[in-house]
Amino acid sequence: MKIKDKEFSIYIDKNTIEQRVAELGKKISREYEGKNPLFIAVLNGSFMFAGDLMKNISIPVEISFIKLSSYTKTHSSGKVKELVGLDENIFGRNLIIIEDIVDTGLTIHHLLEEFRELGPKSIEVATLLHKPEATVKQLQLKYVGFEIPEKFVVGYGLDYDGYGRNLNDLYSLAN
């Protein structure tokens, strides 16, 4: 499968993804029973995961979407993008941040710091993918779909230079 100038091959097929997302949804539904969680999905990459995860949640929940700005600001941990679009009051809420992938962990680390300042009751992370070998930050990731090696992946919401988000399976760069 060619996306722009690069060749990709199938890495995790859609049935495997579907099954794993259903498991995560059931687990979250059990663990958040009576807690009225607020999901915050980080766009763009998490849109497909967030949609499928929601279909597997069987308890009352809310979901909201945020974006990271395309410009960066300098921060103690390096250059990070700023959070935009948060219009929910998250004080006292049980938050679950939905991410597509945690790579170095800088993005999610920074997001968690920003959210903690707003006084939620609890915060956990649900990420479809995690590259543990690439992660430089100490993070507690409660719900992880798949741990993967340091490969570049596209599909199921993730892009290569803007393309490939619509693919139903996950692909990795062919070597």
Contact with ligand IMP (CB under 6 A) among 18, 152, 161, 166: 152
106 belongs to the binding site for ligand IMP (CB under 6 A)? yes
Q: Which listed residue (5, 100, 103, 169) is catalytic?
A: 103
Nearer to ligand IMP, 108 or 126 (CB): 108
105 belongs to the binding site for ligand IMP (CB under 6 A)? yes
Which ranges constitute the DSSP H helices of 43-153?
Answer: 47-55, 106-116
Neighbours of 62 (CB within 10 A): 11
Rounded to whole angstroms, how far apart are CA atoms 168 and 17? 9
The pair of structure tokens assigned to 175 is 């070597």
Cα angle: 108, vertex 113, 118; to 5 degrees: 125
Nearer to ligand IMP, 32 or 49 (CB): 49
45 belongs to the binding site for ligand IMP (CB under 6 A)? yes
CB of 93 to ligand IMP, least distance (A): 23
Nearer to ligand IMP, 31 or 132 (CB): 132
**Terminal Cα-to-Cα distance of the chain (whole angstroms):** 13
The pair of structure tokens assigned to 20 is 């794993």
H/E stretch holding 111 reads: helix 106-116
103 flagged as catalytic? yes
97 belongs to the binding site for ligand IMP (CB under 6 A)? no
Binding site for ligand IMP (CB under 6 A): 45, 99-108, 152-154, 158
Q: Which amino acids are annotated catalytic? A: 103
